[in-house]
Chains A and B, each alone.
Chain A
Amino acid sequence: MIDAEIDEIIQVLKREHGYDFSNYSMASFRRRVQRVMNLYHIAGFYDLKYALVNDKKFIGHFVHEISVCVTEMFRDPQFFKKLTDKVLPLLASYPTIKIWHAGCSTGEEVFSLAILLDEMGLLQRSRIYATDINQEAIEKAKKGIIDARNIKEYTQNYIKAGGKNDFSVYYTARYDNAMIKKELREGIVFSQHNLVVDGAFNEFQLVCCRNVLIYFNRTLQNHVLSLFYSSLAPLGFLALGIKESLLFTEAKDKFDVVDNANKIFRRKV
């Protein structure tokens, strides 16, 4: 599809359905659209536009498929290790630790964080608000079920992240699924939140938003980073994906760098 056609799809989504993708990363959005078209055997631009205007059921599928729901436990183990070494000990001084995990998808990284908090004896007084734009992903996350075929990889990641236990104590496996232990999930509140249009809803000591900003252009990145800034307590921590830099954003002077390789920042007072 040419740029003008992509633009028109964005206009249709906004006008007809109130979804605003206009400040998404276009290179990535284009791929997602192409992917949905292949998945649903849609031949071209006009067929796609027709379906988006007329097919109520399709629009739900479309928005679900456009958002990237790929995630894994302890992705970038060295990030989780640094978080455990440098950030979590400082959070220990708060009577209640409030954490926002934005763009949590199906919850795998939230469960990872809960495990590390548990191993530091902090989980009991932590409240984790985990949000995502994708309602289906949130529903799956609430169930605490992960794909058992990935357990071997997750176990290796967990060990590299500095996990202290036998990883198998944290889940119960049954056939293709594994369920994360209930005790780990009790302090987690999963809910839908759209970073594009929804505002701040609490004050946090840690905001974790990894590999979400990559799907936004610089305008939207600036908007979301200012939302995170206003959602953080002074000296609160911000953790982004390891390739998500503040350097190219307006937020770069509002944060100190805690660990550049793992993109951990701290809100200035």
Chain B
Amino acid sequence: MTETRKIIVIGGSAGSLSVVLYILQNLPSNFIIPIVIILHRLKNIPSEIDKIISLKRSDLKVKEPDDKEPVYQGYIYIAPANYHLLVETDATFSLDYSEPVHYSRPSIDVTFESVAQFYGSNATAVLLSGANEDGTAGLFAIIEKGGTALVQSPESSEYPIMPAAAIRKNEGVQIFSPQGIVKYLEKISPF
């Protein structure tokens, strides 16, 4: 039953790559919940983020999903540059090349809202360091559909604007340091 499966979505912008790497490096090797990562990045430049992650953790299965690729357990998915990343009701990814949101494509809001729609209370969303307000509306949708919203504490963020905006505008977000985020994710893992 794909409907009952959990998913983790992590969004970040400026100052978040090191935190993403920290989180992934510290996850147990049998971590099975699929993780979808949305990072703001330059377009029209082939990206190396999946390779950087693979270098740090060669045991993790990391990939940029193609359109209509199924969401598999045990995988880490990176939103491709210059597309929005959505999830369909049959648990496949859809890409979308429509207008940027918050000057960003991929936009964190777009993926968070789409994941909230389909995964509801099975979704855990994590918003990291960044310098704009992408992610705030997305976390609102996650909470509204019964999911869990975690935000990196502004004090621990290199660029606190994005987490601070999300905390200011959303009741019910939980605030953690990067270490706290790892602990939380370990806790929801079935193993």
Chain A contributes a number of interface residues (CB within 8 A of B) equal to: 33
Is B69 a contact partner of A28 (Cβ separation < 8 A)?
no
Bound-state CA distance A221–B66 (Å) is: 14
Q: Which of the 9-residue segments B4-12, B18-26, B87-95 touches chain A?
A: B87-95
A contacts with B: majority SS: helix
Q: Which of the 9-residue segments B31-39, B96-104, B159-167, B179-187 touches chain A?
A: B96-104
Interface size of B as a range? 20 to 34
Q: Which residue of chain B has its CB nearest to the CB of A247?
A: B66
Residues of B within 8 Å of A28, CB to CB, are 86, 94, 96, 98
Bound-state CA distance A162–B80 (Å) is: 23
Is A157 a contact partner of B44 (Cβ separation < 8 A)?
yes
Bound-state CA distance A77–B42 (Å) is: 14
Q: Which of the 9-residue segments A134-142, A188-196, A210-218 touches chain B?
A: A210-218
Tell me if B117 is interfacial: C-beta within 8 Å of chain A.
yes
Q: Which residue of chain B has its CB nearest to the CB of A30?
A: B117
Is A27 a contact partner of B88 (Cβ separation < 8 A)?
yes
Tell me if B68 is interfacial: C-beta within 8 Å of chain A.
yes
Which of the residues A27, A160, A211 comes within 8 Å of B44, measured between beta carbons? A160
Is B97 a contact partner of A211 (Cβ separation < 8 A)?
yes
Tell me if B121 is interfacial: C-beta within 8 Å of chain A.
no
Q: Which of the 9-residue segments A10-18, A43-51, A68-76, A163-171 touches chain B?
A: A68-76
Is B68 a contact partner of A248 (Cβ separation < 8 A)?
yes
Is A245 a contact partner of B67 (Cβ separation < 8 A)?
yes
Bound-state CA distance A70–B113 (Å) is: 21
CB interface residues, B 31-80, toward A, < 8 Å: 44, 46, 64-70, 80
Which of the residues B87, B89, B96, B110 comes within 8 Å of A214, measured between beta carbons? B96
Q: Given A26-B89, A218-B68, 8 more contacts at CB 8 Å?
A: A25-B86, A25-B94, A27-B86, A27-B114, A28-B94, A68-B96, A213-B67, A215-B96
